[in-house]
Structure 1
Amino acid sequence: MDKPALDNRYQIPVISITFEDEIPPQIKNMVQQYHGEWNTTFAQFFSNMKIEKIKFIGSTDTTVMIGLLNNLL
């Protein structure tokens, strides 16, 4: 029988993205303004920033994580 997600060790998939350059300080105001919810403003803000590395945390299913990442970018 399948276990509920809350019983699993990795219940919430998370990605860690490291950018080549430092993230500008105005991100703090954006996060507060939009309550940290991803939207087109965030997408545009990050669109010209170069990614140095992507680390998958909290899930061993990389196909799910890649799908989530594709939706973000």
Structure 2
Amino acid sequence: MPTFNESIQLTLNGEPYAIAPGLTAADLVDQLGLSGRRIAVEINEQIVPKSQLATTPLADSDQVEVVHAIGGG
């Protein structure tokens, strides 16, 4: 985990979370051990398509929600 001076602060699923600067949403998903799982990522109340996770940078104070997609009907 980065130290406070070299990290950016997010809110991840309602909790404070620190990451290294320059990470993308895909990097965060990987860091959380969720790569390859059926999940949805929302940043600042906007759903990020899976195809754009690798090109979506994270910034200080972003509000990030990562939820497991559940199928059924």
When the two structures are superposed, what TM-score results if normalisation uses the length of structure 2? 0.26
Bigger helix fraction: 1
When the two structures are superposed, what TM-score results if normalisation uses the length of structure 1? 0.26
Bigger strand fraction: 2
Give the number of the structure whose alpha-carbon radius of gyration is greater: 1
